[in-house]
Structure 1
Amino acid sequence: MLSTLPDAAAADTLAQAVLGARLAACVTNLGVVVSHYHWKNALETAHEVQLLFKTSVARADELQRFVSAHHPYETPEILVWQVDASPDYGRWVNAETQRPIHV
């Protein structure tokens, strides 16, 4: 899953919360990006911090709900897609995110 945050502090706070809830095995801070977008009838440009969350298929929906609930933006960018991982990495991600699922 990919999301953008307004600054490094917000990105670190969300990453730590996600990891603490065991919703991702790893969160990679991809650094500052410049986003250009339409928002409320205006063309905007913003410097944001992009995060890449690595989670299991079983945790993807719960992670999306968690990020949406804890994100500082009114309409957060949350992009989710499934990828193939090496067997060892996939097992590690599954093991790190294994716990009872809360729906």
Structure 2
Amino acid sequence: MTALVYCPFPDAETAQRIGGQLIDEGLIACINIGSSITSLFAWDGERGSAEETPALLKTDAALLEQAIARLEALHPYESPAILGWPCQAGAATRSWLGGLATGGRNAGK
């Protein structure tokens, strides 16, 4: 089964650096990095806002917990918002992402 992880980053460069490291470590196969978004949030009893860069990371469900833990360790925020979930995928995507859990390094998007 496949899995997705959503995470906002402070900027695209940070998302690229961390996403590249997770790819190199075999924990994800792809990171889609979006355009800047405005985030409104409550933190430490205060209301805040920030420009952030959203990213969607693709992995195999067998690696989901490990990918989330590593992302949390690498992320520059004190308490990054990281959300992951198993999901259904088409046959080609299942095959591609499933190769991660077996040590495969399939290329694709």
Q: Structure 1 length normalisation: TM-score?
A: 0.90
Letter in 1 for 2:22: V
**What's the CA shift for 1:8?**
1.5
Map of 1:15 onto structure 2? 19
> What is the alpha-carbon root mean square deviation over aligned residues?
1.1
Kindly report which structure 2 residues correspond to 1:1-103, keeping only aligned pairs within 5 A, or say none.
1-99=5-103
Q: Contact 2:7–2:80 at 8 Å: present in 1 too?
A: yes
The alignment covers a number of residue pairs equal to 99
Q: Contact 2:8–2:53 at 8 Å: present in 1 too?
A: yes
Tell me which moved more, 87-96 or 69-78.
87-96
Q: Contact 1:37–1:44 at 8 Å: present in 2 too?
A: yes
Q: Contact 1:22–1:98 at 8 Å: present in 2 too?
A: no
Runs of 4+ in 1 over 3 A off after TM superposition: none
